[in-house]
Structure 1
Amino acid sequence: MEFNLADLFEGVAARVPDRTALACGDDRRTYAELDARATRLARHLAAAGVRPGDRVAQYLYNGPHYVEALLAALKIRAVPVNVNYRYVSGELRSLLADADPAALVHDAVFDARVAGAASAAPSLRCTVRVPDGYEEALAAAPDGPPLPARSGDDLYIIYTGGTTGMPKGVMWRQEDLFFAGHGGGDPGGEPAASPGQAVDRAAATEGVVMLPAAPLMHGAAQLAAFITFWAGGTLVLVPSFDAAEVLRAVERERVLTMNIVGDAMAAPLAEEIERGAYDLSSLLVVSSTGAILSGSVRERLERALPGRTVMDNYGSTETGLVAWGVAGSVPETGLRYRFEDDRITVLGAGLRPVAPGSGEVGTVARAGRVPLGYFNDPDKTAAVFVEVDGVRHTLTGDMATVEADGTVVLHGRGSVCVNTGGEKVYPEEVEAVLKGAPGVGDAVVVGVPDPRYGERVAAVVAAPDGAPPPAPEHLDAHVRARLAGYKAPRLYRIVPRVQRSPSGKADYRWARAAAAEGRGPAPFQPRKDAPP
């Protein structure tokens, strides 16, 4: 056995075969059942010509089939590829052309999209249609020799959409992903010293029930799923995010830990708890990662869940889990993290560590166990994965300063930073303040061209469902009372709903188009004598 994800899962399944591994509505799988079904699918894929190193794409909603397809690919040393289930044919074609999978497992509801996009993947030779074709594939899968010996060097690809461009396939060695993304089998604790120790820990641990509210096609949910398995726990899924359905699942399955993605999930969950009657007594921890959790929304969730721990984690597909926020850390006053691991640093000019207390802005970087790069993209790989003093680092693109006591203060993504007259404005900070304004349900802040300042700050804002749109003058007053004048949006576009990815990340490309196209009422322009 190696630090290979299929090896480790099979080891856990052998030790706790009758323990419930997965629950999704009425569908349940023990570890033995999940392992056996994944093995049958693996044999079907191998018989169809899928070889080690080939990609196997999952174009699926959440459910047991997703997890089985993921494990099946790993069992035959193929590489799983996550596909955004909101993609239409054109977007699907683009991703399939990049990933060029040998096999595609897809929900039947996507038949038409698959038919229109499959020709973009010249290597595609096997499609499995869920549910009917899937069950037929398992029933007809041949018996055969033992599955191939595996390695910690086997690849795992997670496509990440980010906020500004087309998805990129992040390539991890599985051993590196186990330690960087799965916490070495014990997030926040001592990493496993051997594969056998990881399996022993899983067998000895009981009672962990985890629900990732994000879709499994999002990297954070996949990491949460494996972390659950390395605790010998039960993974609870809902087909797609719906606040009421998530809370019913927490109540029904006695969920201990729930993973969410920022405000886009926290706000509707808080609202549903406030108006519903749910038994959430089992829930102890709500953990957010992958998107900003603003202070106002966090406070609302904490009021709805008194006595629970709401954690704001920091990490990305390119780094894995990196850190937890310090007490009182909110974007309105600066997101603060303490990185106990010395492999996490902030690199400034010349890729040298910034001096604590200097005020120098640098980019957060991770050394050591980092991805190999982006699939089929050597240019982006060279820009993001760099060598510093002979050690490979991931440059996250998150801009930060280091305080005198070593606390790291995050300012936001450099790629979406607005440069207005030489002043840097980080959208996340302004978004967090806007979300605390009366009458605001969601907000995204972007830069739009300005003939004088190069860029001006613009906000795309939506009211809560059913509420009247907020007045731009009131929003401007709210922001200026809390932030420097140059950070205040110069125009507002009021829209029915802010567009986000299924994982809850802001779609800044859409927001720029929304602002530029003049959606909503005429923009509010502050008085001419207002400070820039």
Structure 2
Amino acid sequence: MTSPYDLDLGKNPANHQPLTPLTYLERAAKVFPAHVAIVHGDARVTYAEFWRRSVKLASALSKRGIGKGDTVSVMLSNTPPMLEAHFGVPMVKAVLHSLNTRLDAAILAFQLDHAESKVLIVDREFSNVVREALTIAKAKPLVIDFDDPDYGDDAPYPKGNRVGSLDYQDFVASGDEGFSWSMPDDEWDAISLNYTSGTTGNPKGVVYHHRGAALMAYANTVHAGMGRHPVYLWTLPMFHCNGWCFPWTLAVTGGTHVCLRWVRAKAMYDAIADHGVTHLCGAPIVMSTLINAPAGDKRDFPQTVTFNTAAAPPPEAVLSGMADVGFAVTHLYGLTETYGPAVVNEWLADWDDLPKGERTAKKARQGVRYAALEGLSVRDPETMQPTPADGETIGEVMFRGNIVMKGYLKNEEATNAAFAGGWFHSGDLGVMHPDGYIQLKDRSKDIIISGGENISSIEVEDTLYKHPDVLSAAVVAKPDPKWGETPCAFVELRPGADTKAEDIIAWCRQHLARFKCPRYVTFVELPKTSTGKIQKFKLRELAKDV
């Protein structure tokens, strides 16, 4: 039967527009034109200027033939060009691909090829590795160099030589500020591309759409408690899930981005005190850096700063230490495939009065779904039936909703497997508590989260097996007070081999990005099942005492 509400009440331009975060910046520029949008060193960029530069970037890209479905890759730090790219690139219906600045040349080359990059914007901090990647890659993008005037005299290393044929500032200047930028044809159109950490080989390209980015921006505003004109310090890399979508989020309420190239204690405390920072996001390593900073690096500030953290739940001592120096920690959970955090440990006031042990148990849970997520469940991946909400029965954590990825680029098989049964399969194992809060118990793919970076144990093991003296190897996560987790390798050597732990670590550093290399190597006979499978649960226990 046809409902009367469906008759003659169709969509039209007056009542239906595609959701996109681009309109948030347009509104902010009109409503708060003189408000400071970006702080970078001595530079102050208003919303009017932020909008103008984003439009000019879009225009410059358009003049070079960049349009719908083209990939614009960026190898940038948390600097103004990265923020401009989050708006300027999708303004021409192109797709923003943010490269992880910590990766090695081979993986960068793979991503440039897989994404079919047409343009590559490079910060000169990363010139050397990008130059090497371009010699490997088949893709031949237009390369544009960004020479940051606020690079700093205390830089850990000097800028590399230019790689490209154009300068970023000149490129933007070539654009027309009156350019007619484009809304997406459909809110389902791709807005960005982010690569996961590879497990058994090359990483998968996660595609976000305009709808998800727009809804995530609203959700972050709610769950981070952002009122009008928040001040956000960039410690989380913007290449991580598009900075958990916060580059788009701050435009909703006219917030200020405080850029930070290197995460250092004094620079963070100075920014918080001098600019009135109200929010930041980061991995456990950032909390550790703040808590353990030398007294001379710390600054007093009157405001309480909201610190959003993901990965493993912070220990009680860390939470107490953060509170002592002026931070309120919010624990989040999500994946690249969910635009970053899609689960929040929604803290109830009554829990503050619980005994310490019960309070700690509550804090160890990942939490409940974001407002923009329609479904969060723990299910049997074979039957797709929900597990009992008893806090004990382990199943796979699954997501459903508008802040779940569009799919994996050029990988139909992986996309279909991820969405089997009408839910996104996270690969994480957990339980559902009676009150609806989930808690992770293990990672089915043995991903190690170190300093906010995902490290595949399989990738590290593959490197270890290539060492001529290694007979067998297994890598597990070792709890680490600074990094959250760190890779710990257990190795069986071939008979007669005299290789030392430092030799194994040096080997890994030759073949892996430095953050992926194990910091601990132990030579043991690996525990195995009767079928020869390595028993990693035993190694995880051993790793705690290594």
In 1, Cα distance between equivalents of 2:130 and 2:263: 23
Asked if structure 2 preserves the Cα contact closer than 8 Å seen for 1:208 and 1:231, the reply is: yes
In 2, Cα distance between equivalents of 1:384 and 1:272: 42
Give the counterpart letter for 1:347 in structure 2: R
Deviation at 1:7, TM superposition (A): 2.6
Q: Is 1:270 aligned to 2:291, yes or no?
A: yes
| Residues 77 and 464 (structure 1), Cα distance of their counterparts in 2 relative to 1, 3 Å cut | closer
Structure 1 SS opposite 2:117:
coil
In 1, Cα distance between equivalents of 2:362 and 2:32: 46
| Residues 4 and 299 (structure 1), Cα distance of their counterparts in 2 relative to 1, 3 Å cut | closer
Q: Which runs of 5+ in 1 are unaligned?
A: 191-201, 418-426, 436-443, 466-492, 519-524, 526-532
| Residues 323 and 188 (structure 1), Cα distance of their counterparts in 2 relative to 1, 3 Å cut | same
Deviation at 1:356, TM superposition (A): 1.3
Asked if structure 2 preserves the Cα contact closer than 8 Å seen for 1:4 and 1:154, the reply is: no
Asked if structure 2 preserves the Cα contact closer than 8 Å seen for 1:334 and 1:411, the reply is: no
In 2, Cα distance between equivalents of 1:283 and 1:124: 48
**1:91 alignment counterpart:** 107
Give the counterpart letter for 1:99 in structure 2: A
- 1:344 aligned to 376, 393, 407, which one? 376
Deviation at 1:185, TM superposition (A): 6.7
Deviation at 1:10, TM superposition (A): 1.4
Show the 5 A alignment for 1:327-406.
334-339=364-369, 343-348=375-380, 349-357=382-390, 359-369=392-402, 370-388=404-422, 393-406=423-436
Deviation at 1:75, TM superposition (A): 1.0
Show the 5 A alignment for 1:271-290.
271-272=292-293, 276-289=297-310
In 2, Cα distance between equivalents of 1:233 and 1:61: 20
Q: Is 1:154 aligned to 2:189, yes or no?
A: yes
Give the counterpart letter for 1:118 in structure 2: L
In 2, Cα distance between equivalents of 1:358 and 1:303: 29
In 2, Cα distance between equivalents of 1:104 and 1:416: 32
Q: Is 1:229 aligned to 2:251, yes or no?
A: yes
Structure 2 SS opposite 1:318:
helix
Please report the TM-score for the alignment, with normalisation by the length of structure 2: 0.70
Deviation at 1:323, TM superposition (A): 2.4
- 2:239 aligned to 208, 217, 236, which one? 217
**2:41 alignment counterpart:** 25
In 2, Cα distance between equivalents of 1:92 and 1:324: 32
| Residues 457 and 238 (structure 1), Cα distance of their counterparts in 2 relative to 1, 3 Å cut | closer
- 1:292 aligned to 301, 312, 324, which one? 312
Show the 5 A alignment for 1:407-486.
407-416=437-446
1:270-304 deviation digits (Å, cap 9, x = unpaired): 11165633023224311112x22430562353353
| Residues 76 and 340 (structure 1), Cα distance of their counterparts in 2 relative to 1, 3 Å cut | closer
Deviation at 1:346, TM superposition (A): 1.0
Show the 5 A alignment for 1:32-47.
32-47=48-63
| Residues 23 and 232 (structure 1), Cα distance of their counterparts in 2 relative to 1, 3 Å cut | same
| Residues 297 and 237 (structure 1), Cα distance of their counterparts in 2 relative to 1, 3 Å cut | farther
Asked if structure 2 preserves the Cα contact closer than 8 Å seen for 1:462 and 1:496, the reply is: no
In 1, Cα distance between equivalents of 2:337 and 2:69: 20
In 2, Cα distance between equivalents of 1:81 and 1:153: 17
Give the counterpart letter for 1:170 in structure 2: V
In 2, Cα distance between equivalents of 1:145 and 1:207: 28
Deviation at 1:98, TM superposition (A): 1.4
| Residues 144 and 296 (structure 1), Cα distance of their counterparts in 2 relative to 1, 3 Å cut | closer
Q: Is 1:56 aligned to 2:86, yes or no?
A: no
Structure 1 SS opposite 2:427:
strand
Asked if structure 2 preserves the Cα contact closer than 8 Å seen for 1:214 and 1:220, the reply is: no
Structure 1 SS opposite 2:445:
helix
1:88-136 deviation digits (Å, cap 9, x = unpaired): 4323212211111111111134334333333666564422111381111
| Residues 463 and 362 (structure 1), Cα distance of their counterparts in 2 relative to 1, 3 Å cut | closer
Deviation at 1:28, TM superposition (A): 1.7
Give the counterpart letter for 1:156 in structure 2: I
1:370-410 deviation digits (Å, cap 9, x = unpaired): 2111112222212222333xxxx221122111233333221
**2:282 alignment counterpart:** 260
The number of residue pairs the alignment matches comes to 445
1:423-443 deviation digits (Å, cap 9, x = unpaired): xxxx78xx9xxx9xxxxxxxx
Asked if structure 1 preserves the Cα contact closer than 8 Å seen for 2:93 and 2:191, the reply is: no
Asked if structure 1 preserves the Cα contact closer than 8 Å seen for 2:96 and 2:191, the reply is: yes
- 2:222 aligned to 170, 174, 187, which one? 187
Give the counterpart letter for 1:268 in structure 2: T
1:157-216 deviation digits (Å, cap 9, x = unpaired): 24244474643321121112322x3235742399xxxxxxxxxxx9xx633111131121
- 1:317 aligned to 329, 336, 339, which one? 336
